[in-house]
Amino acid sequence: MKTATCILAAAAALSLASVGAAAFAQAAPESESAKASMIGGGAGDADGAFVSPFRFSEPDGAKLYKRVCAGCHMGDAKGAKGAGFYPALAGNPNLESAAYPAYVVLHGMHGMPGFAGMMSDEQIAGVVNYVRTNFGNSYSDPITAEEVKAAR
């Protein structure tokens, strides 16, 4: 009786180990994961934020804002001052021409990284249109994905 339990336990441990190995094998092989470890990410898609380690998956401007921009410009878009300076996007007259924020999001600006490689034209248009129509901004001329493409 005791031996049987022991064998069962060993079998269970073995099958657990092989499940673990299979999961690892699945997670590891592509070159994506090599890139991910280069940027220290491991699994780039752990919380669904990225399609790959280099592409955001969020479909619309509001979600992209929360995920990408709010970290620096704050959830209420009022910016922050401290270890760095993050300008307010709320009520910001510099957003009057859509081409300007689109350019900044594409190419970055001083302390802000560019997101050209991480977002599609649609995503950039979406997040720019979102900030231009929220947080006290009400510019009613949306930028199109084609215009973003032309500014790349």
Return residues touching ligand HEC (CB under 6 A): 68-69, 71-73, 84, 86-87, 89, 92, 94, 101, 104-105, 109-113, 115, 127, 131
Q: Which is nearer to ligand HEC, 32 or 130 (CB)?
A: 130
Quick one: 38 exposed, middle or buried, by C-beta within 10 A (0-12, 13-18, 19+)? exposed
For the CB of residue 105, give the shortest distance to ligand HEC in the complex, in Å: 5
For the CB of residue 144, give the shortest distance to ligand HEC in the complex, in Å: 16
Task: State which H helix or E strand residue 55 sits in.
Answer: strand 55-56
For the CB of residue 33, give the shortest distance to ligand HEC in the complex, in Å: 24
Structure tokens, 54: 């280099």
Task: State which H helix or E strand residue 25 sits in.
Answer: helix 2-27
